Amino acid sequence: MVAFFRGKLAFTLKVILLSIISALLILLALSAFGQKQYVIGIFIILVVFGANFTYLTKVSIPLKFFYPGLIFLLGFVVAPIVFTLTMSTYNYKTGNYIGKTEAITQIQKLAIEPDASGSTFDIIVGKYNGSESAILASDTVKKQYFIATYKERFDLNAADLKLNQYQVATQAPNFTALADSELAGADKLLSTSRFFYTSEYFVALEGFDVGALYRQKLNFLSERDAFQNISTGAIYEDNGKGNYANLDLPTEILEPGWRAPIWFENYSKLFLDPKVREPLIRVFIWTIVFAVSSVLTSFAFGLLLALALNKPIRGRRIYRSILILPYAMPSVMSILIWGGMFNTEFGAINQLLGTNIAWFQSVTFARVAVIVVNLWLGFPYFYLVSSGALQAIPSELNEAAAIDGATPRQIFSKITLPLLLRILSPLLIASFAFNFNNFNLIYLLTGGGPKSTLDGDIAGATDILISYTYQIAFGSFTQDLGLASAISVVIFLLVASISLYGIRKSKVLESFV
C-alpha cells in the first residue's frame, strides 16, 4: 500500500489528474478573458500555477493539504470580504450605483426633452438610397410624412406613398424597409440613433414602429469632463463624490450619479454623524447581549437535560428522539412558525398563557421572544454535545471525589462543570460567533422591530448588527452599500480584537490552537 503511494504509477496518475484539472481551468480562464472578465481570469490562472507548483514540488507539505480549501476560502469568503472593504471606501448607494461611463450615457439619454406638443410618429426603419440608415415617419393626424436620415429630412407627399388602413406610410420612393430579422441585429444601433428633424430637434426610436421628437438639453464636454445646459449655459462638473454638480449651485446635481471613491468618508460618518453613530452603539450592545444570552441559555438548558438524562432512566430513548427534533427541523420553517405563535391576538402563546401581550411591539417582550426562540433552536445541540462530553469524563474522577466525601453538588461545580467548560469552550465560542451573525432568526422573526419610528429611531430594538447592516444595504427605498460596508468592517475589527484579546488572555484555546 505504502509502496503504491510512492510508486511511479501514483506519480503518473497525479500528473494526469493535475493536467486535466489545469486544462479545464485554463479553458475557463481563456473564456473569461474572451468575455473581458480579466480579474477572474487571472485568479483562475494563478490557481492553476499554484496547484501545479504545490503538487509537483516539495516546497511546502502543509500547503498540499491546504490548497483546495484555501482556494475556496479565497474565492468565496476572502474575495467578498475584500469586495466589502473596497465598497466601504466608495460612495455606493441609491443614486450612485453604476459606473461613471454608464452614468454619462444615462445622463445624456435622460437630458432630452420632447417638444411642446409631445409629437410622436409611426415609423418604419429602413435604408435611404439603399445604404443610409433612415426612417419613414408618418404623423397620421397632421398627415405629415417624411424620410429622415442622420443628417437630412425629406418631406414627402401622401400621394407618392403607399399608405395602410391607418394612414401610415408603408412604402416610399428610394426607401427600403428593414426585414424583421434585420431589425433584431440593428437594435443596438437604432436605439442610440438620432434622426434629423430640424437643427434643434431630432427623432429617436421608441420601439421599432414609433419615434418621438426630442431636443438635447445638456451637452457633454468631454475635454472638460462636464455637462453644459444648452439653454442656460450652466456647467455641471464632477464633484469628486460621484455626481456632476452645478458649479454655481453645488446642491443641484445630475442624476444618475456613479459609484466614486470617497476614501474614509463612510468611516468618518460612523463616528461623527450622530444619526449613524447612536443607533449603531445601541445595536452593538444588544448584539452582544443577544449572542451571549443565546449561548448561555441554550447551553444551560442543554446541560441540564444532559445531566437529567445521563442515567439510563425509563423512556430515555423517547426523550432523546423528541428532543433533537428542533435541531433536525428546517430552521427557516420553525422560525416562521414561532413568529405566528407570538402573534398578539391570535397566537398560540397568548392563548396558552391566557395573556394579551403584544410580543413583537414591545421592546422587552420582543427581546425575550427572540431569545426564547433561539433557545428552542439551540438547546438540542448543546444537549447533544454536553451529554457526549459527560460520557467522556472518566467516571473514576467522580467516584474518587465521592469517596473523599464530596456532595454531588460539589462534584458538579468543582469537577464536572470546569471539565465540561474546558471541553466545550471551542464549541461555545463557535456558537457565539454564529449567533453574533444570526441573520435568519432576526430577519424572519421580528424583522428587527419594534422600532419607535415616531421618536426618530432608525434601528429596531431586536436588530442585531447584521440585520441592521442588511437594512442599510438593501432597504426598500434608500440603500447605502458603502456605509453598510464600512459598518461591517468596523464591526469586524471590534469583534476580532475582542476575540483575539479574549483568546490570548483566557488561554481557553491554548490547548486547542
Among 194, 241, 282, 320, binds another protein (CB under 8 A): 320
Output the furthest CA–CA distance in the chain (Å, rounded): 119
Please select the residue that binds another protein; options are 164, 351, 355, 413, rule is CB under 8 A.
351
- The single residue among 7, 9, 13, 72 that binds another protein, judged by CB under 8 A, is 72
Residues 6+ apart with CB under 8 A from 124: 135, 136, 169, 170, 175, 177, 209
Q: Rounded to 10 degrees, what is the CA torsion of 412, 327, 316, 385? A: -30
Q: Min. distance of Cβ 477 from another protein in angstroms?
A: 4
Please state, in angstroms and rounded to a whole number, the distance separating the CA atoms of residues 459 and 455: 11
Q: Report the site for another protein in 427-466 (rule: CB under 8 A).
A: 427, 429-430, 433-434, 436-437, 439-440, 450-456, 465-466
User: Does 83 interact with another protein (rule: CB under 8 A)?
Assistant: yes
CB–CB of 166/173 below 8 Å?
no
* Residue 80 found at the interface with another protein (CB under 8 A): yes
Nearest approach in angstroms of CB 334 to another protein is 6
CB-based burial label for 207 (10 Å; 0-12, 13-18, 19+) = exposed
Does residue 384 bind another protein (CB under 8 A)? yes
Kindly state whether residue 167 participates in binding another protein, applying the rule CB under 8 A.
no
* Alpha helix stretches (DSSP H) within 117-208: 180-192
Do residues 441 and 296 lie in contact, with contact meaning Cβ atoms separated by under 8 Å? Answer: no
How does DSSP classify residue 412?
Answer: I
Distance CA 304, CA 497 (A): 33
Q: Which one of the spans 127-135, 149-157, 319-327, 409-417 is the region binding another protein (CB under 8 A)?
A: 319-327
Triad 24, 30, 34: Cα angle to 5°? 145
Secondary structure class of 203 (helix, strand, coil): strand
- Under rule CB under 8 A, residue 2 binds another protein: yes
What is the smallest separation between the CB atom of 366 and another protein, expressed in angstroms? 11
Q: Residue 22 interacts with another protein (CB under 8 A)?
A: yes
Cα(427)–Cα(411) distance, rounded to whole angstroms?
23
- Least CB distance to another protein at residue 15 (A): 4
**183 forms part of the interface with another protein (CB under 8 A):** yes
296 φ/ψ angles, rounded to the nearest 5 degrees: -65, -45
Exactly one of 249, 397, 417, 500 binds another protein (CB under 8 A); which one?
A: 500
Q: CB 8: neighbour CB atoms within 10 A?
A: 7
Cα–Cα distances in Å, from 479 out to 96, 468, 484? 10, 12, 9
- 48 is a site residue for another protein (CB under 8 A): yes
AA identity, residue 229 = N
Minimum CB separation of residue 240 from another protein in Å reads: 19
Q: How far is CA 240 from CA 213, 261, 266, 268, in A?
A: 34, 8, 14, 17
Among 31, 164, 198, 413, binds another protein (CB under 8 A): 31
Q: Which is nearer to another protein, 160 or 275 (by Cβ)? A: 275
Segment interacting with another protein (CB under 8 A) among 128-136, 226-234, 398-406, 476-484: 476-484
Provide the grid cell at 242: 460621484
Q: Which stretch binds another protein (CB under 8 A): 146-154, 168-176, 260-268, 470-478?
A: 470-478
Find the binder of another protein among 235, 296, 300, 358 (CB under 8 A).
358
* Residue 512 contacts another protein per CB under 8 A: yes
Which DSSP letter does residue 147 get? E
* Interface with another protein, residue 42, by CB under 8 A: no
Nearer to another protein, 158 or 332 (CB): 332
Residues 192-231 within binding reach of another protein (CB under 8 A)? 192, 205-210, 212
Show contacts with another protein in window 386-415 (CB under 8 A): 387-389, 391-392
Give least dist CB 92 to another protein, A.
10
In this complex, which beta carbon is closest to another protein, that of residue 174 or of residue 261?
Answer: 261
Q: Does 328 bind another protein (CB under 8 A)?
A: yes
| Residues composing the chain | 513
